[in-house]
């Protein structure tokens, strides 16, 4: 991680500590001035490992640190927008005071944010910017993530020669997720004119199985010897694409991108099956969400939300957390150093020898 990013994290840590001190003062609560309250947490799906492994526990932990009497009501929508609407309505009827919403479908989520507004319940959009009345938003610079993915796949393809010698396949994320659209735009801003894009797909529900089927179709249409790179929007879709290429008998896998630094994704980067991943700082994102939620509960402002993003209704005060592209040689000084995964999580099976080579133990 470069010095600029390190300074950003240091500044963020100071801001978080300052907020924590303010939130913890002046009340009878042992971990915050608030007398408590119920905070609703709605996450979109379980196919992506991050939500259950990182987001849910880290958000809950930060809320509890700042407000010991606060209760977190959690539900996961399993990629069903109607189910998420029902879950949110139930939370509102049960008296949640703040709603943290990571929307399955950001347009459909407008109905829920409107219902929350009618009950005077503030909404914090988490990771994906929902439509309708939203008080705060915390996410990553998703266009820049796409730029980094595009640069990574271009660098990988160039290692084999002329980047226009063959075709690139683009397997984007879900069409209902605006983040996926930003990733795609960012990637195209780098790749357009630099490579030949042979096939491109938007993958419903971020499904690895659907990504595998899409890649199978691309192989049939383009021929396996003509595919020199695969832009996959996250680790799940990367896994599906790689499975399709293995089944098709690729002698050598072309460079493949990913995102989310899942165990399987990082293991593939270690072994060389996947060229690059995007390491997103879940810890500061989740902690920021917890701090924002407690601030909303206490009727306070979150001063670090000093950016504005328009969601079609209003300019929403926002915080963006850094994310960085990583390749094989950077895993030790990022994923391992920051404690996202332990060596014991990664260094199994085919990845064990690569860990030893890289000094990961």
The pLDDT tens digits of the residues spanning 34-93 come to 478 999 999 999 888 889 989 999 999 999 999 999 999 999 999 999 999 999 999 999
Cβ count near 224 (within 10 Å): 15
Query: What integer pLDDT is reported at residue 47 of this predicted model?
Result: 84
Percent of the chain at pLDDT above 90? 85
Q: Please identify which residue in the block is written with the tokens 């990637």.
A: 187
Query: What integer pLDDT is reported at residue 360 of this predicted model?
Result: 97
Query: What integer pLDDT is reported at residue 17 of this predicted model?
Result: 37
Query: What integer pLDDT is reported at residue 119 of this predicted model?
Result: 97
> What is the arithmetic mean of pLDDT over 201-227?
97
Alpha carbon distance 10, 337 (integer Å): 16
Q: What residues contact residue 1 under an 8 Å CB cut-off, 6+ apart? A: 324, 333, 334
Q: Please identify which residue in the block is written with the tokens 């978080």.
A: 16
Alpha carbon distance 61, 23 (integer Å): 15
Query: What integer pLDDT is reported at residue 282 of this predicted model?
Result: 87
Tens-place pLDDT, residues 287-304: 999 999 999 999 999 999
Q: Does residue 1 register a pLDDT over 70?
A: no
Query: What integer pLDDT is reported at residue 226 of this predicted model?
Result: 98
Query: What integer pLDDT is reported at residue 148 of this predicted model?
Result: 97
Tens-place pLDDT, residues 126-171: 999 999 999 999 999 999 999 999 999 999 999 999 999 999 999 9
Is residue 128 within 8 A of residue 51, CB to CB? The reply is no
What is the chain's length? 361
Is residue 156 within 8 A of residue 150, CB to CB? The reply is no
Distances (CA, A) of 84 to 54, 95, 157: 20, 17, 40
Query: What integer pLDDT is reported at residue 49 of this predicted model?
Result: 83
Between 19 and 209, residue with greater pLDDT: 209
The CATH architecture that domain 3-140+281-321 belongs to is 3-Layer(aba) Sandwich (3.40)
Query: What integer pLDDT is reported at residue 23 of this predicted model?
Result: 40
| CATH of 142-279+325-358 among 2.60.40.1220, 3.40.50.2300, 3.90.1150.10, 3.40.50.720 | 3.40.50.2300
Query: What integer pLDDT is reported at residue 27 of this predicted model?
Result: 32
Distances (CA, A) of 159 to 148, 152, 155, 216: 17, 11, 7, 25
Q: Does residue 9 register a pLDDT over 60?
A: no
> What is the arithmetic mean of pLDDT over 238-252?
97
Query: What integer pLDDT is reported at residue 109 of this predicted model?
Result: 97
Q: Does residue 219 register a pLDDT over 80?
A: yes
Alpha carbon distance 200, 356 (integer Å): 37
* 146 token code pair: 């796409």
Percent of the chain at pLDDT above 70? 91
- Boundaries of every domain in the chain: 3-140+281-321, 142-279+325-358
| pTM for the whole structure | 0.80
Tens-place pLDDT, residues 253-275: 999 999 999 999 999 999 999 99
3-140+281-321 and 142-279+325-358 in the same fold = yes
Query: What integer pLDDT is reported at residue 11 of this predicted model?
Result: 39
pLDDT band at 12 (very low <50, low <70, confident <90, very high): very low
Query: Which residues lie across from 168 on neighbouring strands?
Result: 197, 229
Tens-place pLDDT, residues 308-328: 999 999 999 999 998 999 999
Q: Does residue 22 register a pLDDT over 80?
A: no
Alpha carbon distance 126, 170 (integer Å): 26
- With DSSP H G I counted as helix, E B as strand and the rest as coil, what are the percentages for the chain, rounded to 5? 45, 20, 35
Query: What integer pLDDT is reported at residue 29 of this predicted model?
Result: 37
Query: What integer pLDDT is reported at residue 4 of this predicted model?
Result: 37
């Amino acid at each position: 991680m470069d010095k600029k990013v390190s300074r950003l994290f240091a500044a963020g840590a100071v801001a978080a500590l300052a907020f924590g001190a303010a939130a913890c003062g002046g009340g009878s609560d042992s971990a915050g001035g608030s007398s408590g309250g119920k905070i609703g947490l709605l996450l979109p799906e379980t196919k992506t490992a991050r939500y259950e492994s990182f987001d849910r526990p880290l958000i809950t932990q930060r809320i509890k640190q700042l407000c010991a009497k606060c209760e977190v009501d959690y539900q996961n929508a399993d990629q069903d927008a109607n189910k998420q609407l029902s879950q949110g309505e139930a939370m509102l009827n049960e008296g949640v005071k703040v709603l943290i919403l990571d929307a399955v479908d950001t347009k459909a989520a407008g109905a829920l944010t409107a219902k929350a507004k009618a009950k005077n319940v503030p909404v914090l959009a988490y990771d994906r910017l929902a439509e309708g009345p939203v008080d705060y938003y915390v996410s990553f610079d998703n266009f820049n993530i796409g730029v980094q993915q595009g640069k990574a796949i271009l660098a990988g393809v160039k290692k084999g020669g002329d980047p226009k010698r063959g075709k690139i396949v683009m397997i984007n994320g879900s069409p209902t997720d605006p983040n996926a659209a930003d990733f795609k735009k960012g990637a195209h801003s780098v790749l357009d004119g630099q490579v030949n894009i042979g096939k491109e797909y938007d993958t419903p529900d971020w499904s690895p199985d659907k990504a595998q089927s899409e890649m199978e179709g691309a192989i049939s249409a383009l021929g396996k010897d003509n595919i020199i790179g695969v832009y996959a929007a996250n680790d799940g879709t990367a896994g599906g694409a790689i499975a399709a290429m293995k089944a098709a008998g690729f002698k050598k896998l072309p460079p493949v991108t990913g995102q989310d630094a899942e165990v399987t994704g990082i293991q593939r980067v270690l072994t060389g099956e996947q060229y690059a991943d995007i390491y997103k700082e879940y810890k500061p994102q989740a902690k920021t969400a917890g701090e924002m939620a407690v601030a909303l509960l206490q009727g306070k402002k979150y001063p670090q939300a000093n950016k504005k993003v328009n969601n079609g209704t209003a300019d929403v005060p926002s915080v963006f957390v850094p994310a960085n592209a990583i390749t094989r040689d950077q895993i030790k000084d990022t994923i391992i150093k920051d404690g996202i995964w332990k060596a014991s999580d990664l260094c199994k099976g085919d990845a064990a020898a690569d860990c030893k080579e890289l000094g990961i133990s």
